[in-house]
Structure 1
């Protein structure tokens, strides 16, 4: 197994807890969390994660604004972003992919398959 680092940016602590459990259950991945887009930008710059899981709907700086800020910064521009969203409509998913997402995972997600979903989007082996 390859040790990967994941940054989860979500304003809901319950989501953070469930995702962290799912992501570390059968992997040796390291998971860092941030509870806002602004905090997530700081953590991404400081830690340079292998992937960022990003909630779409957050107060203040939402997921799309956070993605735009990450893409503008040469330090974080190449980090793949996978969105977490409660909006499952095809048009919503298309908008996220057009913005630059590497993947979209619909909430509620199954924590036992979360790592394999991410690995699938990024062609990683678990």
Structure 2
């Protein structure tokens, strides 16, 4: 008798094994349908991800524009406040000088500080606009 091991008999590619009656019912068509569904899900996920990135870019652009506008408005308001304080301090210094009151220390110094702040704000605005 010959010793015959059934495991040594490897089937050729595409050949059914003993007892096989053919491919499993619906496996090849289900596999391709599953592949198509998976591909469609991947494409949908990629499209949604791109749309979310686009929304985020647009939101960031709107935020930057709003911040820039708020910064300009704030700079103008600060400039107006400093100009008013300088004007008020100068008029107070002139009135104090006419009455022979001390006019240099409180009013003139405040006017000088406000004008220096206004000049610094102008320099900052010019540098920032470049």
- TM over 0.5, shorter chain: no
Higher helix share: 2
Which of the two has higher C-alpha Rg? 2
Higher strand share: 1
TM-score, normalised by the number of residues in structure 2:
0.19
Higher relative contact order (CA 8 A, sep 6+): 1
